[in-house]
Chain A
């Protein structure tokens, strides 16, 4: 019977292969996604696997090649290298400063600009403008404005009698400066996400609450804020992840200084990998960053699922 089938099959296989409609659709679909899949494997999944392996090797200018050393790089980072905890602390300080400031300002601006009034487009355009500007340009200009002597910010402060610090040369003030200028750069994005969410809330809700005599604050607290919760969650996570990725802003404004006061994780990875060529150690740092971002994402998804139920 098998022979009979092969005979039949071979006779037919000279013509176009017979495929079911479904099989054809699947092949066509894979052709459509093939560039994406190829690029994904080559430039994302492959490198991701490689960085896991690199992180388990000693690979620097001295060794010149990768030697497997197990979890040594992780142990180095977590318990031997004081820089690491300093950097991690900086990254968290940056995030803890940036995220609440960004979200509070974004929400306030969105509340002010979600309804049409004369000039609303002007203000939206202004607050969003830094988002389309390159981070490099933004950092260059602010570095210029924040110079200790002769910087425009300090000269303006002097007009009202305040003796401004040398913003980018003192570790604590430098951190404040990079956080605030980053918030100004990115807040427009969260603002429009909030505006979109606010505009999706039916006006009746507010009207009904007002009929029952609710104050503006009560309407916000009891009606609007709960309805914004899903948006707030998404904004929280993307802003948080974004704050851990910040690189160009720091690179140009402070170069991680002064006294490593603004040395954050993304910058530390770059420095270790490309300046000092500690490939193994830098890869372990990259993995740690990956885990932080992953945990944040999983937390978001869990909260979101709970939210929907």
Chain B
């Protein structure tokens, strides 16, 4: 039996799809296993593995909140991420606008300095920042978790992203605004920002996720349980020997991850594009 070209093509496509599905297993499987194990009892977790729990243990999700102030920690992560996002939007779009549109002495030098900040990992400056924050009396507060991302390399990345976008939008409207007597601040607020919604959305998305997933800074600056953020809280589900309480840890991790995944599935196009635009994170 010989195959027609059409049949050969269909078979090739099926092979491709199967291959891709196989590669996809380690990308999807951890999420499924995480959610399913979050419903198992401590004993079933170590028994015969099965993706569907034999007994659905909804209590895990209650115990998560009893073990530590998880609701409070969840809220901390949420409000810090919102604050970081809001501040980053304002500050990076102001600076990005000036760097794109205004002429001033020192602009070139400033760009160079900011660019250099993009290259330097947080690990390099975290030790002096620790003493700075302690000197400012801000240890065990959320201030460093807001200030460091806003003014660190992430904020600089946002500034450059905004600058690139401002450079690409047409100047005419802004010039018309100038003619009508708008101040530079007015032009930025009333003309430039409304025209830059895609860039603002991209900055919001990556900044929110950046803050939401931040780990080193909370680890260094936060010590009291009720001030923990989610990543720190998740790492804290251990028994008195420091061994993980898997069923609680995985239930809590599901609670932290699943809402983000749902938003991601709804807005995947926008979110992936935002990361493509920023390009340099990771």
Contacts and interface: CB of A to CB of B under 8 A. Distances in A.
Interface residues of A, number: 85
A217 B104 CA distance: 51
Determine chain A's interface SS by DSSP, over half rule.
helix
Contacts of A297: 119
Contact of A44 (B95, B151, B253, B260): B151
B103 A286 contact: no
B271 to A, nearest CB: 6
Given A32-B95, A32-B98, A40 B250 contact: no
B103 to A, nearest CB: 6
A285 to B, nearest CB: 9
A1 to B, nearest CB: 29
Interface string A31-57: 011011101101111111011001000
A167 to B, nearest CB: 14
Interface stretch (B57-65, B68-76, B106-114, B194-202): B106-114
A193 interface: yes
Determine chain B's interface SS by DSSP, over half rule.
helix
Contacts of A103: none
Interface in B7-24: 13, 16-17, 20, 23-24
Contact of B121 (A137, A184, A244, A248): A244
Interface in A136-184: 136-138, 140-145, 150, 152, 155, 184
B27 A134 contact: no
Contact of A144 (B24, B95, B122, B246): B246
Contacts of B105: 26
Contact of B117 (A22, A40, A131, A239): A40
A207 interface: no
A308 to B, nearest CB: 18
Contacts of B110: 33, 37
Contacts of B249: 140, 144
B176 interface: no
